Structure 1
């Protein structure tokens, strides 16, 4: 009967072992708070309160004694005279837990409930999680309780969407890093070559016009050109311009190459920022 009923009962689902240790810590903290209420510190008492210390040990199972379902002294001391030991402040008494009533308070309860628990969809086989010595439950029960925000499915969906958007942007940036520097450098180089060709064509046209004019003067035909007042200065300036164009034509490929490298480096730095 119990097996049939338990087969149809849904287990208590926990997401991780930390959830179980969190519940255990809450129970132990509540037990410690009740102990503080039932056995407040006695002013002027010398040494530790053995009764309080012993009950704390029983509740937390520090020394292997099964804890009690209650912290009232009558569960440990059926004799009324023994119950008054704490009030009289005597320290020579010996605590003897009542076996029937001190059976596995916190750990026993969770141990019996373990078949009805599942951690991340798996049965709870590792009972060491219930031990106070477990690393996940070693926190002081008196520490402030940590409250976690409830799971928000919409926030989870939004995070996934933002993650996908970030990945798409990273892919676009990677593609631009590969294509943009080369395209920009190629466009600049083509513009430089076009300007150089235009300069060469203009220079060739000027030379042709000068040659035709010279032929017309020597042959006696055409228009007679009279020397200018500053003819020598003009010729020297023209010669310097022609020499400068020649040097520019010679150095232009190296300048274009340097500019292409600088353009690529600048584009890479800008995209990295």
Structure 2
């Protein structure tokens, strides 16, 4: 009866087989150092027992891989093929291959390093200058907006002044017309009784023009109850009591209570006012320095 055929272990390259052998040898060295540690002295003489154990372990590993090589195929090569790497790959000295120097590749690497240095310099320069430029641009834009708003305010003021001048001219012309009409009435009604000056004044008031609606100051007073409180004076009392409370909290209201305590309270109020002025000046300096 013929022996059954088993499929061999297939490897893709000789490096796979070399990797397995190297890992096995490395593990054997770890076990050897664990059970037979090297001497702690600086003596260069090897331990005979340790060297003998290492030789036996290496011989066993080599014999094991030699026996298993008949069941391994590397990229279609069997152990019977002369191109099979084992065990010649483990006994032959390691060879180092060098590629020829590529001038074009070296020039490209130099160019890329130069670009990297240039970009690094550009980034560092932008980190130094970008915040300053952004601050200047923001300040210029803010100054432009402030200038535009000031121009608009000036134009509105000029328009208001023109309206006021036109209203004054209209009022003067109406006054002149009323005076002329009054003079004519005086000439016509010469020799009249004492009641005539009163009628003349009434006519003068009736002939005067109505005021410009723009001159009327319309202030919203809230609800009807709030408007009534404004008219009756209750709101003024509320504001007065509130101001007195604030003065007491600031140390300014004690002067009204007693004469002796008044001087101290005035000093406290003055100190509070000076402190407020100093804090406001410091805040203005901080805002200007930003």
TM-score by length of 1: 0.33
Larger Rg: 2
Would you tell me which structure has more helix in proportion to its own residues?
2
| Larger relative contact order, structure 1 or 2 (CA cutoff 8 Å, min sep 6) | 1
